[in-house]
């Protein structure tokens, strides 16, 4: 009897993954947005500081809104939706800060982008740790978080690398980050499909 009860007891990690998998499209869209931002940055290596500020601000706000939507849609579950909410709010705040200060210096922009990357990366790693029991071999989320932390620390500790190097770093990071999110999104979609078929198979 105790074994049956233990088996029937709901696992929080299962709820976490189910909640996240329902928002796989939001995760995938975040990946697409990051890839597009990275491509634009790499396609315009001679971009002016003002254009880079506006480009990053737009991306941060879009990425933040998508993350907030995913958090709100997943709040009914047991998952770490509040981590996603904080991550989204941080992104929106970073985007608004760049728009509110369009004349900011390159050094200030570096620190804003670096702080944003470190904070959002840490929140992604925290979410991945929360989901590790259910999502097996899902290194995408952890790797994307670690990539953000490393990138943020790198540009903050080397602020004098130059405008061209900064643009290239941002572009390369955004494309890799977006690819990881895109892979995670489709992985979550597969998880959702598999777990939707299981009850149907049992019923048959």
Q: Where is pLDDT greater, at 14 or 94?
A: 94
Does 14 reside within a domain?
no
108-156 residue pLDDT tens:
888 888 999 999 999 888 877 776 655 554 577 788 889 999 999 988 8
Cα distance between residue 135 and residue 128, in whole Å: 9
Does 6 reside within a domain?
no
Does 141 reside within a domain?
yes
pLDDT at position 122: 92
Cα distance between residue 56 and residue 53, in whole Å: 5
Rounded (5°) CA angle 127-149-100: 95
Enter the pTM of the model. 0.74
Could you give the number of structural domains in the chain? 1
Does 198 reside within a domain?
no
pLDDT at position 135: 58
Does 99 reside within a domain?
yes
DSSP 93-128: HHHHHHHH-TT--HHHHHHHHHHHHHHHHHHHHHHH
Does 167 reside within a domain?
yes
Length of the chain: 204
Domain that holds residue 111: 26-190
170-181 residue pLDDT tens:
899 999 999 988
Does 199 reside within a domain?
no
Does 196 reside within a domain?
no
Q: Where is pLDDT greater, at 89 or 109?
A: 89
């Amino acid at each position: 009897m105790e074994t049956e009860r233990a088996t029937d007891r709901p696992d929080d990690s299962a709820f976490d993954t189910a909640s996240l998998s329902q928002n796989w499209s939001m995760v995938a869209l975040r990946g697409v947005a990051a890839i597009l931002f990275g491509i634009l940055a790499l396609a315009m290596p001679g971009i002016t500081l003002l254009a880079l500020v506006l480009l990053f601000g737009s991306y941060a706000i879009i990425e933040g809104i998508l993350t907030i939507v995913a958090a709100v849609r997943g709040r009914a579950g047991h998952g770490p939706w509040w981590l996603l909410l904080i991550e989204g709010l941080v992104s929106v705040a970073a985007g608004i800060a760049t728009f509110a200060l369009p004349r900011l210096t390159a050094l200030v922009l570096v620190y804003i982008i670096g702080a944003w990357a470190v904070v959002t990366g840490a929140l992604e790693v925290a979410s991945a740790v929360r989901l590790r029991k259910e999502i097996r071999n899902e290194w995408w989320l952890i790797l994307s978080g670690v990539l953000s932390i490393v990138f943020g620390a790198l540009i903050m500790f080397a602020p004098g690398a130059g405008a061209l190097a900064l643009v290239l770093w941002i572009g390369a990071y955004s494309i890799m980050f977006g690819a990881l999110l895109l892979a995670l999104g489709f992985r979550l979609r597969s998880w959702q499909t598999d777990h939707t078929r299981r009850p149907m198979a049992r019923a048959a």
